[in-house]
A and B are shown apart, each in its own frame.
Chain A
Amino acid sequence: MDIKKILKEKWPYLFLLLVAFAVPVLVSSRYVFQVIVISVVWSVAALSLNLVLGYTGLASLAHAGFFGIGAYGVALLTRGGMSFWLALPLSALLATVVGLFIAMPALRTRESYFAISTLCFGVIIYIVAGNWLSLTGGHTGIIGIPRVTPIRLPFLTIEFTSLTSQYYLVLVLLLLTLFVMHRLVYSLQGLTFMSIRNNEVLAEAVGINAFSTKLLSFCIANFIVALAGGVYAPLMGSISPTVTMHILTFNWLVFTLLGGVATLAGPIIGAFAITVLIESLYFLGEYQLIIFGALLIVVIIYFPRGLMGIYDNLSLKAKDFYQQRRSGFKDVQRIAQSRGSD
């Protein structure tokens, strides 16, 4: 594919990518910049939840638990002297293994029973994080988590001390996650996930092992969310058991549902839109949740496919409108030509 064609077909994505890389230049407020950094981390978490919930149809409510395992893993290992770049994949692997043990019994259940059982496992992770004093520091948590280990190249050293460098770190994680999700979703493997969500009995009847497919989706999602947790810990410098709390899972669930479930852009749009909304309603104090709740109900009732659904509907209508106008214009031209020939 030549560059001209790429520019013509993919220009909105390239534009967004350009804006994403230019954020440190475009945003002057440190507070807004911090909100953007955290929104990027939440986007990664919501994207991973979208794989298991949106594409495979499993409402995993233990997601924050795996985020927490990633965060605690990196915090403990880097405090022990390990490089962040080794601690990160190790922590994500740990979360995946823990997820594997949780999935074995949980995946024997279906639908709401699966949601309830994973919620219970998530709460167990929270309780462990809050009570294993010698390891996790209990509810006080872990403070003084070392910054991300600098990358030393022969000609360059990349430090992660500034907010800008941290932003680029989370942005790279988001882009990698998007890349992996895109490749997975638009492949036979992605169709296999969707077949389970859509019709598990038929999927098994055509030879798909539903259990191992669900297990795979669950493990990939846990690995990615643990990576997000692992990046989150050194960015914050301290963590407590709240990083494993189910309220985080519910937040990501809302990001995904509002943005557009089973779409790649939806969870990212949801993560940014809702974080901005919450921040802009901050002046309402505790009442902000009422506005937020009402909005959520309206969107779920009237726009079940979320913001991406609204976008799709609008773009479809716009397409129809322009097609009609074009055909109308052609009719006028034809009539004018026929009159001219008369």
Chain B
Amino acid sequence: MCNALLKVEDLTKQFGGLLAVNKVNFEVYEGEILAIIGPNGAGKTSIFNLISKLMPATSGSVHFLNENITGLKSYQVAARGITRTFQATSLFDQLRVVDNLAIGRRVRTRTRSWDAILHNSVWKKDKEETTLKVMMMLGFIGLQEKPFHFVSSLSQEEQKRLAIGVALMSDPKIILLDEPCGGINNDETEGITQLIRNIKEAGITVCLIEHKMRMVMGLADRIVVLNYGCKIAEGEPQEIRSNPTVIEAYLGGGNHC
């Protein structure tokens, strides 16, 4: 396996008396698809929120490319190359598809207010590059037929694709996908699965949370299993499938922390 791109060490999050994430350790290697699974309330989304700095950790650390990013802010983490999607599809829903994608590229552009007002070379270069990138991304996520549609007119699956596209626009090194197939049918799940494979082929590391086990087992290179905020197993899909602790957790077993 390649180098560890992301390293989570003893990550802990406490909400009052509830320990949502309890000293979780894992690594995400460059170029792989790592799935984080577990029953509802296991702390999967909390881990994504801690990595992307949507909320601060109680203790523990997150290292990205050997840099400690624990104290950074959400936008700084994104600028380093970690972007994400959200469990409840989150988009700029008053804007059109192309605008959503262009905003996703903003972090890689240099246009400031003066450049926009003066229409100088910086503005021109950014505009051309962003337009090109948006057109490429529309094709990549399969929304080339709907560039000027408003988000509200897109289907649930199209919105999921767009959310992934927005996160990919800044050329991240790793993308965190929180239930990319939640709320969509089997055919649509197949389409999103293929899209995730394409992301991996494009050289972007994927870390995903998903409840659809068939999809996870067929897609992930490795799986981390959480229960009650603790990591209870880690390994390749075949190992996880036959792990008795995992089976017990999914059948409603006790706390193994």
Contacts and interface: CB of A to CB of B under 8 A. Distances in A.
Nearest to A194: B95
B167 A198 contact: no
A207 interface: yes
A38 B164 CA distance: 49
Given A180-B117, A187-B111, A188-B106, A207 B75 contact: yes
A204 to B, nearest CB: 4
Contact of B111 (A188, A199, A204, A220): A188
B83 interface: yes
Interface string B99-124: 10011111101011101111100010
Interface string A172-210: 000000001001100111111011011101111111111
A204 B106 CA distance: 11
Contacts of A192: 103, 106
A274 interface: no
A206 B170 contact: yes
A296 interface: no
Given A187-B111, A191-B106, A207 B78 contact: yes
Interface in B25-71: 52, 54
B63 to A, nearest CB: 19
B170 A204 contact: no
Contacts of A199: 90-93
Nearest to A216: B113
Interface string A211-228: 000001000100000000
A155 B19 CA distance: 79
B84 interface: yes
B73 interface: yes
A209 B74 CA distance: 8
A208 B92 contact: no
Contact of B83 (A187, A189, A206): A206
A72 to B, nearest CB: 26
B103 A206 contact: yes
Contacts of A205: 52, 54, 74-75, 78, 83-84, 86, 90, 167
Question: Which of B79, B83, B116, B126 has most A Cβ within 10 Å?
Answer: B116
Interface in B137-164: none
A205 B105 CA distance: 12
Contacts of A197: 94
A203 B99 CA distance: 12
Contact of A207 (B79, B86, B91, B116): B79
Contact of B109 (A183, A188, A204): A188
Nearest to A188: B111
How large, as a class, is the contact surface on chain B? 35 or more
Nearest to A203: B103
Given A188-B130, A198-B94, A198-B95, A206 B109 contact: no
B81 to A, nearest CB: 10
B93 A189 contact: no
Contacts of B54: 201, 205
A264 to B, nearest CB: 14
A253 to B, nearest CB: 20
A202 B86 contact: yes
Interface string A269-298: 000000000000000000000000000000
B200 interface: no
A332 to B, nearest CB: 32
B127 interface: yes
B172 to A, nearest CB: 9
Nearest to B110: A188
B169 interface: yes
A104 B131 CA distance: 35
B166 interface: yes
Contacts of B112: 189
A195 B94 CA distance: 9
A306 to B, nearest CB: 15
A201 B91 CA distance: 10
Interface in A222-257: none
A187 B105 CA distance: 13
23 contacts: A180-B117, A184-B113, A187-B116, A188-B109, A189-B112, A191-B99, A191-B103, A191-B106, A192-B103, A194-B99, A194-B103, A198-B92, A198-B95, A202-B91, A202-B92, A203-B92, A205-B74, A205-B83, A205-B84, A206-B104, A207-B75, A207-B170, A209-B73
Interface of A: 180, 183-184, 187-192, 194-195, 197-199, 201-210, 216, 220
Given A194-B94, A206-B106, 10 more contacts: A189-B111, A194-B92, A199-B92, A201-B54, A203-B92, A204-B73, A206-B78, A206-B103, A208-B107, A210-B75
